[in-house]
Each structure stands twice: as structure tokens, then as C-alpha cells.
Amino acid sequence: MITTLPVTPISPLRQRLIEDMNMRRFSRATQRNYIRDVGRFATFLRRPPDTATADDVRRFQVEQRDAGLPAPTMNSIVAALRFFFTHTLDRPDLARKLFRVTYPRKLPVVLSPDEVARLLQATTCLKHQAALSVAYGAGLRVAEVSALRVGDIDSERMLIRVERGKGGQYRNAMLPTDLLVLLRQWWQVGRQQGVMHRDGWLFPGQHAMKPISTRQLHRIVVEAAHAADIAKRVGPHTLRHSFATHLLEDGVDIRVIQALLGHAKLENTAFYTKVAMRTVRAVISPLDKLAMFTGPEARPDG
């Protein structure tokens, strides 16, 4: 006799939260994180979260801090609860009681152009090389690479349409000539393998009807870096960091880079100036202009 387990119904409140996120085209990952974090708050309350008071919100954040949660985690919870209170509950008064934790931002790991080339060459198949080349060549986030479809490649305008960007934002990313050549090679190989379709995913996963997962892309980068003998700790986002830094070092206007990356705030893009070494080396120090130690008037030894 086969027994079926009962399906737990979704509460009306959770369904409203999901609908609110769907209306704003939130990614699956964002929706999963928001549901998890609102659930954390409900577990703390031990009652439905729509009954929360301002004091509940304060006590929750105090407990999170005392539990030693990292600042980025606490801020992610704040983002989820602010959305929940403001849009699902229509309680902006509770959202205003939440505070973000300030913390020093670590400098991103950036690969040199030579290291990027070695990493791409160390991939084990054409699909993996093409996927990582998109991440670096167009500066896409790992979730954006995963979500690309064949139809998102606009070879006439030399653009990549990013329709599932962060926060559900749409934008156009650049399509370098060499990247288009590589993608066409992958298209031919994928068609021969029977996994590529004109209306399908650009990088299918193990099942052709599903895209490659972000977790698999992370594993591909780590394994390629190891094979290329790169000691730095890298992930898919390292390629995006490297894309932005290399453009900045080549003199591309920072606002153009902001648009290519899909950054809402210029300050996020400006952060790359801290790791753009070629830009720093191009600046002439006022001490060098004095020519006290290298010029003809430099004091002789002795």
C-alpha cells in the first residue's frame, strides 16, 4: 500500500509575500532568501509576523547581534524584513525601526589579464569556457550567466540582453567580438550534442530543460583556477570584479562601467578604483616632480 504524505498548505501571508516579490520580478534566489529571513523573524516571535510590534523588531535585532551573526547576514535580513513590512504588511513604521550594520568592505580579489587567460584555458570543455568567458567578457553576475537564453544574444547590435538581473532589472551588456565567435562555436557543438535549442538555455544544465546552476558555475571556476595554478581565492564574481577593474585601468569612463555592470549607485562602481593598480601607477607623485633623488641635481653619495 502506497501512502502519500500530506502537503503543507502555504499560509495566506506567505502567499502574499511571494506575490509581492513576483510582481517585482525578484529572482528565485532573492525570493528564497527573503522567505527564509522572514521565517527567522517568525520563529523568533513564535507567532505570526504580521502581529509584530516595534519592540519585537528591536529585540529581534538585539538577539541577532548578540548571537554573533556577521554584518552582511544581518543586513540581508534587514532587506528582507523591510520589504515584508513595507509592501506585504503596509507597515512602513516597522521598517523604519530596522537598522543596517556598517562594516568595512573588503577589497575584491582581482585577476590579472594573464591569470584570466590561464583560467579560461584551463576549463575542461567548450561550454564551461564559454560560460566563464561571458562572466568576464560581459561582466555578468553568476545568476545572470545561468539565466541566459539563446535569444538573449543579439549579434546584430553586439549586445547581451540581461532580462533577469539583480532586483529584476533589465539591461544590455556588451558582446565582444571574440566572445561572439566562441558562443557560435558552442552553439554548433551544443546542437550536435542535442542540448541547444533556439528558444532554450544558452548554458543548459545536466537536463537540457534546466539552466546550469550557479553552484556548478562556482565549482567550474574553482577547479579551473586550481588547474591554472592560481593561488588566489576565486569564484564566478571574481571574473566580474576583474572585468570592471580592467576596464577602469584601460581608461573607460566610470559611468559607462556602471551601466555595463547594472549598478544602481555610482559608489558601488567607484569601489574598483581601490584595486585598479594600473590607474594608480599612472599617477605621478608630486615628489617625483621635484626630481630631488633622480634628477641631475640629486645629491651624490658620500
Q: pTM above the 0.75 mark?
A: no
- CATH 1.10.150.130 domain range(s) in the chain: 12-95
The domain made up of 113-281 is a member of CATH 3.40.50.1240: no
Instruction: State how far the Cα of 279 lies from the Cα of 61, in Å rounded to an integer.
Output: 41
Instruction: State how far the Cα of 190 lies from the Cα of 142, in Å rounded to an integer.
Output: 21
Instruction: State how far the Cα of 41 lies from the Cα of 80, in Å rounded to an integer.
Output: 10
Identify the pLDDT of residue 5: 47
- In the chain, where do the E strands start and end? 153-154, 159-162, 171-174
Identify the pLDDT of residue 112: 92
Could you say which architecture CATH assigns to the domain 12-95? Orthogonal Bundle (1.10)
Instruction: State how far the Cα of 72 lies from the Cα of 105, in Å rounded to an integer.
Output: 10
- CATH 1.10.443.10 domain range(s) in the chain: 113-281
| Burial class for 190, CB neighbours closer than 10 Å (0-12, 13-18, 19+) | buried
Identify the pLDDT of residue 62: 93
**Amino acid residing at 35:** I
Identify the pLDDT of residue 295: 60
Instruction: State how far the Cα of 51 lies from the Cα of 53, in Å rounded to an integer.
Output: 7
Identify the pLDDT of residue 142: 93
**Amino acid residing at 288:** D
Identify the pLDDT of residue 165: 53
Mark the ranges of the chain whose per-residue pLDDT is less than 50: 1, 5, 7, 302
Catalytic site positions: 141, 166, 237, 240, 263, 272
